[in-house]
């Protein structure tokens, strides 16, 4: 009902209202969800009550972590956060492709900046909070000259306030950002981050995930896999939104500028997830993201090699109740296949 009303508003206005409403809304879904023992896993030393996380971009400023955990998410990734606040690109910059169950956005890392978001994270931990995993997704400011300095700055400042850190080098809306995925540059970035982690004791045990684009060629995927294995990268998130426009799109907004997310990216993002699982010999935890809207698609990502999954666009079309629905479906699928725990299904179709 409310979701239908929100959909009458421009996407960004609807998002702002949603965040306001969520700030004062807690769901009772979580208690039930915590009983699904087959979905519990410990990955990189972190306990996840279920494998479904909120993808970056929904809670850019870490304002609704508690609420999203209460709806049942096993983890919430906040951000992308940049050192300084920035407004992002000119509006309109978010488009709903309703007929395609997709979104195109060219927001450009609009966020309140590390200082303000640090305060939000502190207040989340200071107030009574639901146990749950928080990921801190970081990026660079648009006008920064030295990209690496921005990542190091954010890790130093915010790294201690999350269970893991995501290095976002795959958003399509910050000029030059995706070039950080190039061989050599990505390795340099990883080495500098690890050096920082070694210098700061509290950051030492924070796993680092690198979030990659679904538009990478096979050779680039191989380079990233080899670099990750050689440098003990903790995990990879596959994937961000795509610059491609599948022929299947029918919405009038299909040629808008920016990254496409939602249903039309499910197949391609799952394919590169599968490739990466095989290139890394299943040795590196992968988070599968892209086009998940039901339990079955979630299970497909797991079987393709994901240890965890995330979603965003389905939330826009189905509202936060979608989480408990997906979790229930996923639990059923795991048990029907005769597994005691979801971890037994990881990579089973690869």
Ligand X SMILES: Cc1cc2nc3c(=O)[nH]c(=O)nc-3n(C[C@H](O)[C@H](O)[C@H](O)COP(=O)(O)O)c2cc1C
**Active-site positions?**
171
Q: Which of 141, 171, 270, 307 binds ligand X (CB under 6 A)?
A: 171
Site for ligand X in 29-68 (CB under 6 A): 55-57, 60
Token code pair at residue 270: 């799952």
Hey, which residues between 291 and 310 contact ligand X (CB under 6 A)? 291-292
Rule CB under 6 A: which of 235-294 touch ligand X?
A: 240-241, 261-262, 265, 289-292
- Which residue carries 């679904």 as its tokens? 214
Give the shortest CB-34-to-ligand X separation in angstroms. Answer: 23
Q: How far apart are the C-alpha atoms of 257 and 317, rounded to whole Å? A: 21
Binding letters toward ligand X, positions 190-229, x by CB under 6 A = ---------------------x------------------
Least CB distance from residue 49 to ligand X, whole Å?
20
Instruction: Please select the residue that binds ligand X; options are 29, 70, 82, 137, rule is CB under 6 A.
Output: 137
By the rule CB under 6 A, 117 interacts with ligand X: no
User: Which residue, 38 or 83, is less far from ligand X as judged by CB?
Assistant: 83
Query: 226 vs 249, which CB is nearer to ligand X?
Result: 249
Judged by phi (left if over 0) then psi (alpha if -120 to 50, else beta), residue 146 lies in beta
Cα 295 to chain centroid, rounded: 17
DSSP letters, 177-217, are GGGGGSTTHHHHHHHHHHHHHHHSGGGTT--EEEEE-TT--
- Of 69, 94, 165, 306, which lies in the binding site for ligand X, with binding defined by CB under 6 A? 94
Which residues partner with 39 through β-bridges?
A: none
Q: Report the sign of the C-alpha dihedral through residues 168, 11, 320, 296, in that order.
A: negative
CB 291 within 8 Å of CB 262: yes
Q: How far apart are CA 199 and CA 180, in angstroms?
A: 23
Cβ closest to ligand X, residue 38 vs residue 323: 323
- What distance in Å separates the CA atoms of residue 172 and residue 84, rounded to the nearest whole number? 19
- Shortest distance (Å) from residue 234 CB to ligand X: 17
**Rounded Cα–Cα distance for residues 120 and 197 (Å):** 23
132 or 214: CB nearest ligand X: 214
The helix (run of H) or strand (run of E) holding residue 259 is: strand 259-262
Residue 62 Cβ, how far from ligand X at the closest point, in Å? 12
Minimum Å distance from CB 230 to ligand X? Answer: 24
Decide whether 238 or 284 has the Cβ nearer to ligand X. 238
**DSSP per-residue string spanning 69-105:** HHTT-SEEEEEEE-SS-B--SPSP-EEEEGGGTEEEE
Which of 29, 67, 105, 197 forms a contact with ligand X (CB under 6 A)? 105
Residues of this chain that interact with ligand X (CB under 6 A) are 55-57, 60, 79-80, 94, 103, 105, 107, 137, 168, 171, 211, 240-241, 261-262, 265, 289-292, 311-314
């Amino acid at each position: 009902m409310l979701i239908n009303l929100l959909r009458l508003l421009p996407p960004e206005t609807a998002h702002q209202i949603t965040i306001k409403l969520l700030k004062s809304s807690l769901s009772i879904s979580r208690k039930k969800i915590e009983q699904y023992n087959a979905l519990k896993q410990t990955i990189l030393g972190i306990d996840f009550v279920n494998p479904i996380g909120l993808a970056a971009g929904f809670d850019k400023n870490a304002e609704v972590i508690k609420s999203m955990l209460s709806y049942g998410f096993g983890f919430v990734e906040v951000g992308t956060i940049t050192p300084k606040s920035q407004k992002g690109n000119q509006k309109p910059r978010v488009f709903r492709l309703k007929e395609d169950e997709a979104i195109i956005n060219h927001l450009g890392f609009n966020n309140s900046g590390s200082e303000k978001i640090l305060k939000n994270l502190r207040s989340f931990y200071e107030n009574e909070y639901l146990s749950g995993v928080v990921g801190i997704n970081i990026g660079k400011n648009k006008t920064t000259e030295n990209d690496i300095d921005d990542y190091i700055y954010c890790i130093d400042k915010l790294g201690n306030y999350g269970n893991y850190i995501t290095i976002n080098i795959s958003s399509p809306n910050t000029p030059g950002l995706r070039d950080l995925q190039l061989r050599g540059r990505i390795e340099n970035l990883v080495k500098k981050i690890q050096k920082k982690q070694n210098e700061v004791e509290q950051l030492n045990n924070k796993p680092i995930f690198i979030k990659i684009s679904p538009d990478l060629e096979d050779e680039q995927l191989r380079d990233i896999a080899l670099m990750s294995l050689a440098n003990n990268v903790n995990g990879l998130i596959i994937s961000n939104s795509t610059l491609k426009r599948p022929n299947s799109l029918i919405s009038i907004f299909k040629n808008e500028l920016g990254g496409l997310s939602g249903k039309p990216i499910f197949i391609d993002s799952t394919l590169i997830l599968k490739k990466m699982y095989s290139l890394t010999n299943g040795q590196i935890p992968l988070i599968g993201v892209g086009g998940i809207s039901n339990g079955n698609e979630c299970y497909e990502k797991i079987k393709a090699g994901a240890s965890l999954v995330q979603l965003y666009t389905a939330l826009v079309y189905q509202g936060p109740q979608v989480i408990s629905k997906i979790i229930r479906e996923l639990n059923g699928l795991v048990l029907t296949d005769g597994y005691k725990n979801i971890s037994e299904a990881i990579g089973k179709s690869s």
